[in-house]
Amino acid sequence: MAAKTKKAIIDVSQQLDKIAEQYQTFQILNEEGEVVNKSALPDLSDEKLKELMTRMVYTRILDQRSISLNRQGRLGFYAPTAGQEASQIASQFALEKEDFILPGYRDVPQLIWHGLPLYQAFLFSRGHFHGNQMPEELGALSPQIIIGAQIVQTAGVALGLKKRGKKAVAITYTGDGGASQGDFYEGMNFAGAFKAPAIFVVQNNRFAISTPVEKQSAARTIAQKAAAVGIPGVQVDGMDPLAVYVAVSEARERAVNGEGPTLVETLTYRYGPHTMAGDDPTRYRTAELDTEWEKKDPLVRFRKFLEAKGIWNEEEENKVIEQAKEDIKEAIKKADDYPKQKVTDLMDIMYEEMPFNLKEQYEIYKEKESK
């Protein structure tokens, strides 16, 4: 190899080091719930802080019960969320009602706190079409199953909001695996070129389904990928709800002020399997790594912070737990009682005008269903 070429490679390596240094992890609370970045503390009232904790605790219970319901055969597809509450709930907490959510399949909690009835979330898990029918007043699409497809959709929705003069944003969620998809770059590039009010949240839980993030990309961070499309990128401690809240709040402010989109990478960890469909995380994660991240639990961290402020205690938390259990019990019953899905339902909602070759089949099913 020529000496000049060797020097060029060394120079590039040094440049990469400098780029990575620009994306230091943003944090407000450390693992002990202590404030380590006082100047960045958000201006949230005690009631708002308690509400954020309430939603996180509620979501953890919802995750536990959903796993149990799945094992009982009462739910279908389910992707566990424990460990990602700060990334999911604190980011949604930074939104306004008029904002539009385009979730991935693990992001049902954000939809629920944005206005999706809990029983519909259960119907979504069961594959019932009503679980995908977002209420009219809820700005959201149903959870995307195709990894990364929601990124391109977000660029379009955000541009639509801009063209209509709305002071609102489109926010989307994916994981580190989604950041390896072509749609990830295409969607961000389009949104950046048109300064569309979008927020792209990558919840980097380190393993996608089972592939370590280090084997997915040579980039030191996912946040730095924003530079390639000319938009801001920030890496956040995804186990710190206050840091996530601040990062998304600031991204939203930039977006509605016409400054374009932002990429937010949250460093987080899912404590359970990728989904309940047979994934075994012990095959690709060590017990030592699990223990390391359990010490970073967002609920433990935020609980310590609130207890130190004197605004949270065990009694408060138990009330939330009992309320969550009661709500889940009622919602699963409502899902059980909801009219069963029929073949003709799917055909009716699939086509505005049914193709002639299906009309005969439709009539056959209609007759069977009437008996």
CATH of the domain at 297: 3.40.50.970
Q: Is 270 a catalytic residue?
A: yes
Choose, from 55, 65, 254, 274, the residue flagged as catalytic: 274
The answer to whether residue 2 sits within a structural domain is no
Same domain, 269 and 132: yes
Same domain, 162 and 176: yes
Domain span at residue 366?
Answer: 341-371
Same domain, 241 and 257: yes
Whole-structure pTM over 0.85, yes or no? Answer: yes
The answer to whether residue 74 sits within a structural domain is yes
Choose, from 271, 284, 362, 365, the residue flagged as catalytic: 284
Same domain, 248 and 128: yes
Same domain, 306 and 283: yes
Give yes or no for a contact between 344 and 369, defined as CB atoms under 8 angstroms apart: yes
The answer to whether residue 194 sits within a structural domain is yes
Same domain, 262 and 357: no
Same domain, 265 and 229: yes
The answer to whether residue 21 sits within a structural domain is no
The answer to whether residue 3 sits within a structural domain is no
List, in sequence order, every residue forming a beta bridge with 235; answer none if it has no partner: 265
Q: Is 274 a catalytic residue?
A: yes
Give yes or no for a contact between 257 and 251, defined as CB atoms under 8 angstroms apart: no
Res 13: pLDDT: 73
The answer to whether residue 198 sits within a structural domain is yes
Same domain, 282 and 362: no
109 closest CA partner among 140, 149, 73, 130: 140
Give yes or no for a contact between 232 and 257, defined as CB atoms under 8 angstroms apart: no
Same domain, 300 and 228: yes
Same domain, 370 and 316: no
Per-run averaged pLDDT (10 residues), the chain, 371 residues: 56 76 93 97 98 98 98 96 98 98 98 98 97 96 96 98 98 97 97 98 95 93 96 98 98 98 98 94 95 97 98 98 98 97 91 90 91 79
The answer to whether residue 15 sits within a structural domain is no
Choose, from 270, 285, 301, 303, the residue flagged as catalytic: 270
Structural domains in the chain (count): 2
The answer to whether residue 218 sits within a structural domain is yes
Q: What is the 3-state secondary structure (H, E, C) of the chain?
A: CCHHHHHHHHHHHHHHHHHHHCCCCECCECCCCCECCHHHCCCCCHHHHHHHHHHHHHHHHHHHHHHHHHHCCCCCCCCCCCCCHHHHHHHHHCCCCCCEEECECCCHHHHHHHCCCHHHHHHHHHCCHHHHCCCCCCCECCCECCCCHHHHHHHHHHHHHHHCCCCCCEEEEEECCHHHCHHHHHHHHHHHHCCCCEEEEEEECCCCCCCCHHHCCCCCCCHHHHHHHCCCEEEEECCCHHHHHHHHHHHHHHHHCCCCCEEEEEECCCCCCCCCCCCCHHHCCCHHHHHHHHCCCHHHHHHHHHHHHCCCCHHHHHHHHHHHHHHHHHHHHHHHHCCCCCHHHHHHHHCCCCCHHHHHHHHHHHHHHHC
Same domain, 145 and 266: yes
Same domain, 110 and 126: yes
